[in-house]
Amino acid sequence: MEADKLMALVEVFEGLEDWRNAQQTRHRLDELLTVAVCAVLSGA
């Protein structure tokens, strides 16, 4: 996947509100969702 297409996918999730406890998170929600979508698309 090209970098610009991946960045466009990250932008889709940027507007979502993160409901998790900020003190207990290591990664941003939009990045986690992007990785999850890529995993599903690749057959994980």
pLDDT tens track of the chain, all 44 residues?
577 777 787 888 888 888 888 888 899 988 889 889 889 989 97
Which class for 33: exposed (0-12), middle (13-18), buried (19 or more C-beta within 10 A)?
middle
Q: What is residue 16's predicted lDDT score, i.e. its pLDDT? A: 87
Which class for 37: exposed (0-12), middle (13-18), buried (19 or more C-beta within 10 A)?
middle
Question: Number of C-alpha atoms within 13 angstroms, CB side, residue 9?
Answer: 15
35 in Cβ contact with 10 (< 8 Å): no
Residues 6+ apart with CB under 8 A from 34: 6, 9, 10, 13
Instruction: Kindly report the pTM of this predicted structure.
Output: 0.71
Q: What is residue 40's predicted lDDT score, i.e. its pLDDT? A: 93
